Structure 1
Amino acid sequence: MNLLPKSSKEFSSAEYWETFFKKRQSAFEWYGTYMDHCAVLHKYIKPKDKVLVVGCGNSELSEQMYDVGYQGITNIDISQVVIDKMKERNATHRPTMVFMQMDMMQMEFGDSQFQVVLDKGTLDAVMTDESDGTLHSVDRMFAEVARVLPLGGRFVCISLAQEHIAKKAVSYFSQQGWPVRIHAVEEQITADRQFTMPVFIFIFTKFKKIPGAGHRILEMCMEEQDKPLRLASVEQLLEAVKGRQQYALLRNHLTKNSSSGENVSLTLSDSVSGKPRYTFCIVDLPSVKVSRTNHFAIFIVPQGRETEWLFGTDEGRKQLGKTAGFKRLLVVALHRDQLYESMEAIQSELSGKVLEFAPSGLPANQQVPFLSVGGDIGVRTVQCRGTSDMSGEYVIEDVKGEDGNYFRHLVFLNNVNVVQSEAKLLHTISGQSVTSQKRKKKDKRRGQSCSQTEKTSNPKPGQAVDKSYLCCDHHRAMVAGLALLSEKGALVADTPFSLLVVGLGGGSLPSFIHDYFSQSTVDAIEIDPMMLEVATAWFEFSQDSRMKVILADGLNYIRTAVDSGNGSYDVIMFDVDSKDTTLGMSCPPPAFVDDVFLLKVRNLLAPQGLFILNLVCRDSTLKEKVMGVIKGIFPLIYLHKIEGEVNEILYCQLTVELKARSKDLLEAGHILENTLKKQSSYWDETYNLAEMLKTVTIV
């Protein structure tokens, strides 16, 4: 029997409901039963309260409330048919419960007659759209509800909280000075469930409107046992509702279906602070053969490691899932500003939530394993917080890496999945750094002494950064590319050359070149003054006669330098990111690969010069366009793709006569690497410059 209306507007039609209740004999529970809502209802409705139920229909809600002690209940509905049926159904067992046919937009009750007005789905039936007529009807409904309530009375509204309905209700009553609290009802997923959308209970409490009062009480309760979360604006409250709806829809979808290779993720917030606490990424692997024990597992990413390729990219998480061997893997990242006691405490906290994302077919009473790396939750220490006028809020944090070493990260909070700058800290063992011990052994072999001891039990600004270590593979590749300045890499290390780097960050790349290429002069262009402060205070960056930072827009600096004709550079490097995260290219900003501007870059290079670009582009069409522009400007381009990352390093030169054969590049890489080892007391053996050049191709 089809009882659904032909259009949503019929929900507000008296004729529709008359027909509906003639055909529908049994109780119809639109948004769950009394048992679904009683925990919240009992908090706001006292047994002795006079309760008015508007749009009662043939729901059993009033009857069940009556049976547990709420006997001052009056029910109204626009349909005389349903009122007659409800009177007949309750005449014997509930003699004092009142049923009346009445239009709730023009009620016959006196002012302040009820302590509670209870609505289950009626507002949703009335507000089918946002036409003038509908909005007028809703205003009449709200005015009548306010009229029959005394000060301190409560309008309890059970709703699906569709966006236009929630916005109207919250805005209306908050403007009247009424405190607003919204409870998200804990829904159970069942095969016969009427709705996949979650249900909310709005609590509007009648307060006297105070003219000029600016502060409104707006609260959200995500779970039954949670304390209310106070929010600053109507927009924030509605956003919290929307987040809960998206969570429920995703949960329903994933319980019944596979993510089918989609990038599916969601964030759970702390119920007290409202700040993000966990981010879930769902990895489904259709190719995994299912057994009883490999349906589902949860992987906890240690703090500070969520940006690593294995945990922070779609490809990496798929690889993690294949290695783990589960049909569905839920990868859980931990957020900064949150306290986590132990891995066991995290498992206990998540045990109820994670099962909501289990795939269909999970055997009953199946133990779901928690997986991680190293068995602990990792270490993340926020050392500094700040705000850049250009880039927004940022944090400086120290994290523990997989190998036990500690690293310092600069992260902008508008893009928390990207480490803007990274440096290795001098990790101590018994008061002496690991790096110092390695250097001492190396210096002894070379007949030198080293008595310096570096401690990092409490890293402080400018005291604990290992400037000889390049954390980023793309920085290592950019250094390796300097071998292209000549066929013999030794000439690069021993011969003076000038370098322009656009993009300072933490300063690790220009610092490394300054320290290891003793005859180089480096100009670093940085548009954000705050980044120079951060690099100096937290990444041990410093300037001298060979290292100069120019605070300027890199675009303007290069244009002005070319137009003035004042000198040129042997090497120009672009390592600058885009602040617009909606673009398919995060590095560099599009203006830096415009054909007119790249002509300026070409004109600023010395005749035998080298232009090195860090390109990060996920949009294949855009990347093809960018490559076409670069090829039109530079006749010789080498390409190095960094394994496991999106980064591609382009080495661009001005003449094809400089083209080197593969074996020449390999030899130049070996010579450069061996020469650089002699420039400092320490060289990290993981820097294999020759191997990087071995994979270079000409495009």
Structure 2
Amino acid sequence: MDILPDQFKDFATKSYWEKFFKKKQAPFEWYGDYEIISNILDHYIKPSDKILQVGCGSSIIAENLYDNGYKNIESIDTDSGVITTQSRRNILVRPELVFKEESATDIKRENEYYNIVFDKGTLDAMLPPEFDDTHTEDVEKMFSEIKRVLVSTGKYIIVSLLQDHILKKIVEVFRRENQYSIRFHCADGGEVSDFPLPVFVVVITKFKMPMPIEIPMEYMQNSTMKAVKRMNNIEEILDVINSEREFNMYATYKTKNFREQSSFKIFDLKDKDKERYIVYVVDDPNAKEITTMAVYVVSVGESNGYLYSTTKGREIIRRNCGVSRLLMFYKLPNQEYGDLKDVNDEVADLVRRLTPLSMKNTKINFVEARNPAQNIKLVKKGISRINGEWKVIDVKISNTHSRQLIFTGCPNLIQSEVYLNKVKGKMDVDMTRLNSQYHYSFLLSLSMTNLKVFIKRKEVEMRILVLGIGGGLFSSFLYDFFPKSTIVGVDLDEDVVKIAKNYFKFPTSERMVVHIDDAYEFVKKEASLDKKYDAIFVDIAGSGSDNIINCPPPRFFSLEVLSDMKKCLNDTGVLAINVVTRDEEMHEAVRHQIQQVFSKIYNATCDMDINQVMICPLNSIHVTQTKYPTTSIFKGADLQTFPDCEAALEFELKKLKSLT
């Protein structure tokens, strides 16, 4: 690109152009080639049109038009050398092309002669940023001549970098008489060149007579050739053009692979203050070049989840999509969106401009992340003093019915979920099945306290501590599954316990002991007491603002809390922690921290969720050697009233592994 001037003002100097044409013997399309603007030109030009190209230089645009069926073209330029070169190159192969040494300020044709006047870079050359009266006078003369030679409904088509002073001059001159409409296109052509400034095509149409009302300017979408924004003042169009310029600079550099994720906002063209999408460009940091790409549309309400709100989460999605570049479009609240095809049509031009040149003809797949729920019924909503707004909803997914507790502050995290069964024509909570897979990992961990715990489930008298009651499903299941055991539940939020009792059939009994307390403080107090627990389950949701680890709050991995929980257990007790994080490094850090207090750690991962259950036994048979429970722990167990239990526990057994 060394033949381009260092400064825009150089375009207006004769010495620059003399050096330019001497240095560049071959035709040079410094504003982009015909392919980039052809779709726009084809929309406005007919094969029968008489076309005048002003300031043709060494451009081959006339040849391109000729080869595509537009034969009636005259090209003028003040440089005799250019005209000679153009004529020699075309006289035999394109004999109808005409090249004349002539100034655009003095066109040698009668009034209303041409259907099209085509200007590719000439206006930019004649009016540099630091223009003076001479420049202005020449441009005014050229505009006056173009107005004169254009027929009614004729078009003046300008290909320009459209700097602010150029744009202002066009609008100033062609809106004086209210006889011309002005349309703006960004000539991206579906791809980005190495030239970082966007090229614009301005189409000015002449009416037969001045209009009685002001004609609005239009900004056009190239793929549909429909106006996406109509404007009556210069400030509005300047804002749109400058936004395009900023985006094109960004898109040009994004044709290369950047290791860091980047993002930008798309505003509604009809309301420049209203955000339409937030877009993230997620590239494979290890890829030498971008060879595959997809578009991932994030639905409203999904964006707060770890996958969508963090760098590592977005990288996980990119890897799962199997592409080296993923464009993530985040829908925003209080906006109306159509289906996936509508979104595709809306953002297609932008997607093409972020597509590497090597993938020019490659189909880009669009996928959408959405909740598959078919039917949602609000059961109850309210406000908790601790957790804020909450709602209990009944959800139907396929033929499965469930009830969920969700806090508005963490809309993507289901706090509690229980299956529903139809009983006597009404949906009722099903306490015989656990909805969350990780709860079966919790249940399995009890076999490390006593291998016969399932066989003798009706007789064993355990004392089990559950930190984090939530909707109470797991505590209620334990209560029914071990009818002689005592369940101690701790939750900071009294309103949550009330929700559990009112909507999730949480039992009230001497065997179900509830403490409204901070689990952190409760464990500290219990550690000093003689009465111990057979098992402790940590199932506490973390802060919705913590994107690294969702459950439990990080302080539960402090050595102090881990030590206190160990002190609360009897000699064969077990600690099981529900860990929710997609950060692989965090998983390793958690394991390392736990191992400083518990010498043996097992874990079970959940296939459908991001939960991992860390199981820390004190029973010597599981500590001194890696001793896994076997299916014999179910042999003879009466599990018929809990239909999914045995199969689920066997499944958890297969995934159980030692981390130490």
Alpha-carbon contact 1:299-1:331 (below 8 Å) kept = yes
Matched, 1:512 2:477: yes
Query: What is aligned with 1:650?
Result: 614
- Structure 1 residues 557 and 675, CA gap change in structure 2 (3 angstroms): same
Matched, 1:523 2:472: no
Alpha-carbon contact 2:577-2:615 (below 8 Å) kept = yes
Alpha-carbon distance in 2 for matches of 1:619, 1:551: 31
Secondary structure, aligned partner of 2:601: strand
For 1:359-378, list aligned pairs within 5 A.
Answer: 359-362=356-359, 364=361
Question: By percentage of residues, which structure has more strand?
Answer: 2
- Structure 1 residues 657 and 385, CA gap change in structure 2 (3 angstroms): same
- Structure 1 residues 583 and 350, CA gap change in structure 2 (3 angstroms): closer
- Structure 1 residues 527 and 495, CA gap change in structure 2 (3 angstroms): same
1:584-607 alpha-carbon deviations (Å, 9 max, x no partner): 333322221211222221222223
- Structure 1 residues 632 and 661, CA gap change in structure 2 (3 angstroms): closer
Among 545, 550, 553, the alignment partner of 2:518 is 553
Opposite residue 697 of structure 1, the aligned amino acid is S
Matched, 1:420 2:385: no
Among 62, 82, 93, the alignment partner of 2:131 is 82
Alpha-carbon contact 1:469-1:684 (below 8 Å) kept = yes
Query: What is aligned with 1:191?
Result: 193
Alpha-carbon contact 1:297-1:369 (below 8 Å) kept = yes
Query: What is aligned with 1:683?
Result: 644
Alpha-carbon distance in 1 for matches of 2:349, 2:580: 39
For 1:136-535, list aligned pairs within 5 A.
Answer: 188=188, 190-191=192-193, 193-195=195-197, 225=228, 256-257=255-256, 317=317, 321-322=321-322, 355=352, 357-362=354-359, 364=361, 379=374, 381=376, 383=378, 388=384, 390-391=386-387, 396=392, 399-401=395-397, 404-412=399-407, 414-416=409-411, 418-426=412-420, 435=421, 452-455=423-426, 464-489=428-453, 490-492=455-457, 494-535=459-500
Q: What is the root-mean-square deviation of aligned Cα atoms in Å?
A: 6.1
- Structure 1 residues 392 and 641, CA gap change in structure 2 (3 angstroms): same
Q: Percent of aligned pairs with the same residue?
A: 19
Opposite residue 357 of structure 2, the aligned amino acid is S
Among 581, 587, 591, the alignment partner of 2:551 is 587
Alpha-carbon distance in 1 for matches of 2:485, 2:546: 37
- Structure 1 residues 227 and 514, CA gap change in structure 2 (3 angstroms): farther
Deviation at 1:338, TM superposition (A): 7.1
1:489-512 alpha-carbon deviations (Å, 9 max, x no partner): 323553121221112233222222
Opposite residue 475 of structure 1, the aligned amino acid is H
1:591-649 alpha-carbon deviations (Å, 9 max, x no partner): 21211222221222223222111234555665545434422322443333444755332
1:46-102 alpha-carbon deviations (Å, 9 max, x no partner): xxxxxxxxxxxxxxxxxxxxx99xxxxxxxxxx996213323413535689xxxxxx
Secondary structure, aligned partner of 1:587: coil
Alpha-carbon distance in 1 for matches of 2:565, 2:251: 51
1:208-259 alpha-carbon deviations (Å, 9 max, x no partner): xxxxxxxxxxxxx99974799xxxxxxxxxxxx99999987776566x2457
Among 578, 598, 603, the alignment partner of 2:567 is 603
1:318-368 alpha-carbon deviations (Å, 9 max, x no partner): 57535xxx776767787888777766666666666655554534455x765
Secondary structure, aligned partner of 1:675: coil
1:400-419 alpha-carbon deviations (Å, 9 max, x no partner): 54x54244444455555x42
Opposite residue 518 of structure 1, the aligned amino acid is P
Alpha-carbon contact 2:381-2:389 (below 8 Å) kept = yes
Opposite residue 521 of structure 1, the aligned amino acid is T
Alpha-carbon distance in 2 for matches of 1:470, 1:531: 19
1:183-222 alpha-carbon deviations (Å, 9 max, x no partner): x997845426544899xxxxxxxxxxxxxxxxxxxxxx99
Alpha-carbon contact 2:491-2:515 (below 8 Å) kept = yes
Q: Which runs of 5+ in 2 are unaligned?
A: 18-29, 32-36, 38-115, 118-127, 146-161, 166-183, 201-218, 222-226, 232-240
Opposite residue 516 of structure 2, the aligned amino acid is L
Deviation at 1:571, TM superposition (A): 1.3
Query: What is aligned with 1:73?
Result: none
- Structure 1 residues 503 and 190, CA gap change in structure 2 (3 angstroms): same
Alpha-carbon distance in 2 for matches of 1:280, 1:253: 15
Deviation at 1:555, TM superposition (A): 0.8
Deviation at 1:559, TM superposition (A): 1.4
Alpha-carbon distance in 1 for matches of 2:298, 2:320: 11
Alpha-carbon distance in 2 for matches of 1:493, 1:503: 25
Alpha-carbon contact 1:303-1:335 (below 8 Å) kept = yes
- Structure 1 residues 351 and 93, CA gap change in structure 2 (3 angstroms): closer
Deviation at 1:369, TM superposition (A): 5.7
Opposite residue 414 of structure 2, the aligned amino acid is Q
- Structure 1 residues 243 and 191, CA gap change in structure 2 (3 angstroms): closer
- Structure 1 residues 500 and 624, CA gap change in structure 2 (3 angstroms): same
Query: What is aligned with 2:22?
Result: none
Secondary structure, aligned partner of 2:456: helix
- Structure 1 residues 609 and 225, CA gap change in structure 2 (3 angstroms): same
Alpha-carbon distance in 2 for matches of 1:572, 1:275: 47
The structure with the largest alpha-carbon Rg is: 2
Secondary structure, aligned partner of 1:82: coil
Alpha-carbon contact 2:573-2:619 (below 8 Å) kept = no
Deviates most, 474-483 or 642-651: 642-651
Deviation at 1:528, TM superposition (A): 3.1
Alpha-carbon contact 1:572-1:610 (below 8 Å) kept = yes
Alpha-carbon contact 1:283-1:329 (below 8 Å) kept = yes
Q: Which runs of 5+ in 1 are unaligned?
A: 6-16, 36-66, 69-78, 97-118, 123-183, 199-220, 229-240, 427-434, 437-451, 456-462
Alpha-carbon contact 2:391-2:406 (below 8 Å) kept = yes
Secondary structure, aligned partner of 2:531: coil
Alpha-carbon distance in 2 for matches of 1:370, 1:297: 6
Among 594, 602, 618, the alignment partner of 1:630 is 594
Deviation at 1:531, TM superposition (A): 3.3
- Structure 1 residues 197 and 407, CA gap change in structure 2 (3 angstroms): farther
Opposite residue 468 of structure 2, the aligned amino acid is G
- Structure 1 residues 585 and 23, CA gap change in structure 2 (3 angstroms): farther
- Structure 1 residues 20 and 274, CA gap change in structure 2 (3 angstroms): closer
- Structure 1 residues 244 and 351, CA gap change in structure 2 (3 angstroms): closer
Secondary structure, aligned partner of 2:486: strand
Opposite residue 602 of structure 1, the aligned amino acid is K
Alpha-carbon distance in 1 for matches of 2:434, 2:364: 39
- Structure 1 residues 340 and 621, CA gap change in structure 2 (3 angstroms): closer
Alpha-carbon distance in 2 for matches of 1:192, 1:620: 38
| Alignment length (residue pairs) | 494
Query: What is aligned with 1:441?
Result: none
Query: What is aligned with 1:692?
Result: 653
Deviation at 1:533, TM superposition (A): 4.6
1:141-162 alpha-carbon deviations (Å, 9 max, x no partner): xxxxxxxxxxxxxxxxxxxxxx
Alpha-carbon distance in 1 for matches of 2:414, 2:328: 23
